[in-house]
Amino acid sequence: RSSAQALLRFLGFVFWATAAAQAFGGVLVILIFKNYRYLFQESYLSLPGWLAIAAALILLPTGVLAVSISIKSSRNQQGTFMYLLLLLLCLEMSSAVLAHVYSIRTAAQLESAMGYLVYQHNGSCSQDPESRVVDEVQRKMQCCGIHNYTDWLKARAASWHPTACVPQSCCKEKYSHCRGHLSHLEQLSQEGCLKKLEDHLWFVMLYVFWCCIVLSILELLAAVSNGILMRHQPFQNFRFL
């Protein structure tokens, strides 16, 4: 019993600490789909992030109950604690599964979405309001084209706009006078946007996935510890469970 109380008290403090990590992962997921919403058609892709934030909020009172039960057992608190752990397990596993599935689905969409944006670009060296979508991606990610800058040459050759430059958004930040001309390749970002976007998306989804898995294991340990303590309580009036 003393070991179960010590473990439950420790897990209570861990729940408080991991709530911040869980919320951080959820915010990252929401932001990445908000910032690059023009690359993804489905609005529900940020759902794993919202589930992670909901779980993080529930982790705070769950941690309080864990510490309280480890000090002085109460049947009402123990029953509420079990309910919260069950709810958390549902949220964590749902978020983990969705993060894994969506990371695979969105990775398949990225190349076609980027290809469409590149081939729909205005085909000139100047900035155009209609081309701000792909320019914003290249500026944020410090990249150029789908795989590299040569994608712009292929796109413009196909659209009958042969030019000796790429969009100014391909320019590196330190070159303020860069105009995207191919005669100054050292001023252009050499990496393609597809790889950078895929890596960024995969990192965020993997972070949320493993946060959920680790927390699910800790919640199962907390449930076992709470169950051990409940065995030492009288079995009358346990109908609230």
Q: List 165's β-bridge partners, or say none.
A: 181
Cα distance between residue 63 and residue 19, in whole Å: 9
pLDDT digits (tens, 9 = 90+) for 88-140: 999 999 999 998 888 887 877 787 777 777 777 655 554 544 457 788 888 88
- The domain spans of the chain are 1-117+194-232, 124-193
Q: Tell me the C-alpha distance between 49 and 22, whole Å.
A: 9
pLDDT in tens, 139-184: 888 888 888 888 777 766 545 455 567 788 888 888 878 877 777 7
Between 220 and 40, the more confident residue is 220
CATH class for domain 124-193? Answer: mainly alpha
* Whether the Cβ atoms of residue 193 and residue 139 lie closer than 8 Å to each other: no
- This prediction has a pTM of 0.78
| Host H or E run for residue 21 | helix 2-35
Confidence of residue 201 (pLDDT cuts 50, 70, 90): confident
Can you say whether residue 56 is alpha, beta or left, with left for phi > 0 and alpha for psi between -120 and 50 degrees? alpha
DSSP letter at 192 equals -
Q: Give the CB-side neighbour count of residue 189, counting CA atoms within 13 A.
A: 27
